[in-house]
Amino acid sequence: MAVEVVLALPDRQQVYRVELGQGASVMQAIEASGVLLDAPGLVIDPDRLGVFARRVRPDDTLHDGDRVEIYRPLLLDPKDARRRRAGG
């Protein structure tokens, strides 16, 4: 089955396409993609993974065509960002 692994970095978005066997997990897709080699220092937080914007666990089973998303921590609290944009 074909899946994508996506990582959004501050300066670019990385998309990796991988072929996996049926029943492969989210973490198996991440490992097979090579994203860990391309982004040194990247730490996979099990609470910051998703498939099509739906939170998943590393051991969840994938389906053909899924897009695994690796979320980075927020750099700024959303409330603070709104206040700054509003000028206060």
For position 76, what pLDDT does the model report? 66
- 30's CB contacts (< 8 A; 6+ apart) are 5, 36, 44, 49, 58, 68, 70
For position 24, what pLDDT does the model report? 98
Q: Hunting for tokens 């897709």 — which residue is that?
A: 29
Q: What is the mean pLDDT of residues 52-64?
A: 98
Q: Is the pLDDT of residue 80 over 80?
A: no
CATH superfamily of 2-86: Beta-grasp domain (3.10.20.30)
Q: Is 42 exposed, middle or buried (0-12, 13-18, 19+ CB in 10 A)?
A: middle
Q: Whole-structure pTM over 0.75, yes or no?
A: yes
